[in-house]
Structure formats: C-alpha cells, structure tokens
C-alpha cells in the first residue's frame, strides 16, 4: 500500500462500497458507522451491518467521480 492506494469503506450486510479520500478519513467514517450500526435495533433475519476500510476495488476514475459527490475538500462526509 502506497500513496497511490485508493481507499473505501465496505459496508458488509448491505454490500455497499463507498470511496474515501484517504485511509484516515475511511477509518474515521467506518468507526462512526459502526457505532451507529451497534446502536440500531435489529429485526429478525435482518443482516448485520459492519463497516470496514478496504482498498478501492474498481477503476480509479470511478473513485474520483464518486468522491466529489460524497466528501468535501477537507475529507469530511457531506
């Protein structure tokens, strides 16, 4: 993993992958999401949600496009 590594948050349970501007931002957001998921009441047969930091598995151009939609220039979620 180098400075060229693109980061994301994988939300297991819903299988969403959200790009993140940096590993630090991804770790911060994943921790926030996991606290929220832990506080939710679960319905029977509902999936367990868990956020984890992963390397972006798709094209770099897609990462760049999606970052502008979800994050501000300081690395905070919109």
Give all strands of the β-sheet with 50-55 in edge-to-edge order.
16-20, 7-12, 50-55
CA 41 vs CA 11, 12, 36, 37, 48: distances in Å: 17, 17, 10, 8, 11
Look at residue 8 and tell me whether its pLDDT is greater than 90. yes
Look at residue 1 in the predicted model and tell me its pLDDT.
53
Cα angle value 24/25/29 (rounded, 5°): 120
Dump pLDDT digits (tens) for 25-64. Answer: 999 999 999 999 999 888 888 889 999 999 999 999 999 8
């Amino acid at each position: 993993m180098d400075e060229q590594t693109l980061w994301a948050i994988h939300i297991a349970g819903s299988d969403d992958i959200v790009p993140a501007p940096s590993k630090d931002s991804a770790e911060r957001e994943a921790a926030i999401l996991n606290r929220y998921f832990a506080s939710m009441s679960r319905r029977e047969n509902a999936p367990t949600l868990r956020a984890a930091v992963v390397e972006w598995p798709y094209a770099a151009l897609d990462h760049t496009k999606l970052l502008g939609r979800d994050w501000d220039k300081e690395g905070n979620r919109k």
